[in-house]
Chain A
Amino acid sequence: MILPATLLPAVFFYLFAGMCVACAFMVIAGRNTVHSVLYLILAFVNAAGLFVLLGAEFLAMILIVVYVGAVAVLFLFVVMMLDVDFAELRQGVLQYLPVGVLVGVIFLAELLMVVGAWVIAPGMPQSISAPTPTTISNTEALGRVLYTQYVYYFQAAGLVLLVAMIGAIVLTLRHKPKVKRQNIADQVARTKETAMDVRQVKSGQGL
């Protein structure tokens, strides 16, 4: 069966959205924590697919690179390194499920009401200072302005990261003078004269 072209985005939307919700549920329902993190990664990938459908391909790629590539891997490390009994933490989930569902339904109802009633200020679209370009892709649009128009923000963000790095070092690095470390240069520089001490030991006497 061949789908009409107009139907295709809708099909993919429901595919990605459904997968995303299912994965999100599995994150909290999974028995094994490592599986939970893997489902989380799958949820991220599906969310990235949704962004592609919206035409925000740069955001989609960033989501994959940052969340899947860095954050999720960090989670995996934490999960594997910490000795936390997640099965115990999760006890009583079913007990709280009705309340959770109720809260979720209330949130959904509120969201629907907000979307229905909230009107963006009518004159606002005319005063937008930087409208979205329609002729170029958003990756290219970002690339054109990031190092030119927005170079100041870019550099400022760099300084913030520098402070974060210095701060992490100041607060955690400890110089321990008593720790024995391997110093290859010292080892290579040793000669027979500096490393060995030849003594003549007479028989019957100790050193």
Chain B
Amino acid sequence: MNAVALSSMTQALPEIVLAAGAMGLLMLGAYRERSTQAVNLGAIMLLVAAAVIAASIPNGRIFGGSFIVDDFARYLKILVYIGSGAAIILSLTYLAAEKQEKFEYSILILLSTVGMGMLISAGDLIALYLGLELMSLALYVVAASNRDSVQSTEAGLKYFVLGALSSGMLLYGCSLIYGFTGNVSFVGIAKASGQGGIGLIFGLVFLFAGFCFKVSAVPFHMWTPDVYEGAPTPVTAFFAAAPKIAAMAIFARATISAFPAITLQWQQIVVFVSIASMALGAFAAIGQHNIKRLMAYSSIGHMGFALVGLAAGTAEGIQGVLVYMAIYLAMTVGTFAVILSMRRSDGMVEEIRDLAGLARTNPPLAFFLALLLFSLAGIPPLAGFFAKYYVFLGAIKAGLYGLAVIGVLASVVGAYYYLLIIKTMYFDEPAEAFSPVPFELKAMLGIAGLFNLLYFVYPAPLIVAAGIAAKSLF
């Protein structure tokens, strides 16, 4: 019976700051009229503070090893905080213009981010599940946050029901793993997994089903297009970035640190999921005319590419995944900044044909969107190319030649629909011009665009940081 000393919680400081701050902002929002702006600002500042704290706290395992802070957790937490902060910034004008301003929105995003942090740092199955539920529960609510819209409530309900199903599968997997190894901690499972036998592999499959649902990898991707299309656009921007990073983080941590003894078995699953996601992402996106649906299929494809690195199961592969997630974050935030700028005098539009002739009506916007789409397609020298390069490199070094070849082919097919949008913008007859773009969207687009454009000039810091982070997992 040992009580937990307060000083031993230093490693959890980012989560504590975010959770306590979210509760403080909740009080502010509930007791002050018209405090939405202040709550939003406070939420952004809390995320910045959490990122600074996360960068500076020492490594360690606390709460009996169920909360791990290492270089891997630090790198991904900073990415997640950036993603959540960007999502709040992107939502400011949209929610005000659509009269959906609610102070609870940023608070739910903050609490969801706490869950992501817990997920990234999880050192055992219970912490994993609690983090996952904290993250997801807030996501279900924000998906349905525009409750007067049938589409939004449908998106929320669909996400909730399927999410509950996936949680059930994940828990079933956890219980099987616990039953066949006698442990919930990843370290303990790794020690006992040699003798787990067929029951452990059963559990692993169910656990992976839960993970695949959260990263929206095939065959558990079916919720993605509907939820992306139905949810309010800033919520979609949030869904596409931060939660994916957190889910990918726990996918990598759980497989690498808990199941090294059965690498061969889980590798097969990850290879299959990766190929299926890349292929579906490439082919299913071709017929889409709604840009949010297109981004959903695009994100499925990108998760497939990131999983190529995980399939390698080596430090290089994980480094590739980490670089991929950082660049994916920049590309997604930039692209959604453009989608959120697609506003005419009579409201938001989200069809690809609405972008027709954008190069003549708003050349800078068209230029940046083209840049981001080239980057998403993976065309050198933009950042998206390097993202794919590192995961394929990891796969080739691990001897997965077939996977790398299929990945390259899928990315060629995927380039088609990205280029189609660029063609629409540059060569079609102009449609009605968009309203002026708000300042914060311009700023986010500028930062994301320049990052993608100039990444190749000085790629070292990101590569080195990802390398250190990946090594800490092995």
Contacts and interface: CB of A to CB of B under 8 A. Distances in A.
A163 to B, nearest CB: 5
Interface string A125-150: 10111000000000000001100110
A140 to B, nearest CB: 11
A169 B108 CA distance: 12
Contact of B141 (A129, A152, A163): A163
B104 A153 contact: no
Interface string A85-123: 000000000000000000000000000000000001111
Given A124-B182, A144-B1, A171-B141, A149 B64 contact: yes
Contacts, number: 102
A170 to B, nearest CB: 5
B107 A166 contact: yes
Contacts of B134: 156, 159-160, 163
Interface residues of B, number: 51
B185 interface: yes
B183 A148 contact: no
A29 interface: no
Nearest to A159: B134
A164 interface: yes
Size class of the A contact interface (CB-based, 8 Å)? 20 to 34
A122, A127, A164, A169 — most chain B CB neighbours (10 Å): A127
Contacts of A170: 102, 104, 108, 141, 145
A166 B26 contact: yes
Contact of B182 (A129, A144, A148, A164): A129
Contacts of A122: 195
Nearest to B137: A163
B118 interface: yes
A163 B108 contact: yes
Given A121-B197, A123-B195, A160-B137, A167 B130 contact: no
A175 to B, nearest CB: 11
B108 A156 contact: no
B182 A151 contact: no
B195 A156 contact: no
Contacts of A160: 130, 133-134, 137
Nearest to B67: A152
A145 B1 CA distance: 7
Secondary structure call for the A interface: helix
A123 B199 CA distance: 13
Contacts of B181: 121, 124, 127
A65 interface: no
B180 A129 contact: no
Given A121-B195, A123-B195, A129 B26 contact: no
Contacts of B111: 159, 162-163, 166
A121 B180 contact: yes
B3 A163 contact: no
B108 A148 contact: no
B127 A167 contact: no
B1 A124 contact: no
B147 interface: yes
A153, A160, A164 — most chain B CB neighbours (10 Å): A160
Given A156-B127, A156-B131, A129 B185 contact: yes
A40 B111 CA distance: 37
A144 B3 CA distance: 10
A125 B156 CA distance: 43
A21 B127 CA distance: 36
Contacts of B184: 129
A167 B108 contact: yes
B99 to A, nearest CB: 13
21 contacts: A120-B179, A120-B180, A121-B180, A124-B181, A124-B182, A124-B196, A127-B181, A127-B183, A129-B184, A144-B1, A148-B4, A153-B126, A156-B127, A156-B134, A157-B130, A160-B133, A163-B141, A167-B140, A170-B102, A171-B141, A171-B144
Given A149-B2, A166-B111, A170-B145, 4 more contacts: A121-B181, A121-B195, A156-B127, A156-B130
Interface of A: 120-125, 127-129, 144-145, 148-149, 151-153, 156-157, 159-160, 162-164, 166-167, 169-171
- List the 5 closest pairs (A to B, CB-CB), nearest first: A128-B182, A167-B141, A152-B63, A127-B192, A156-B130
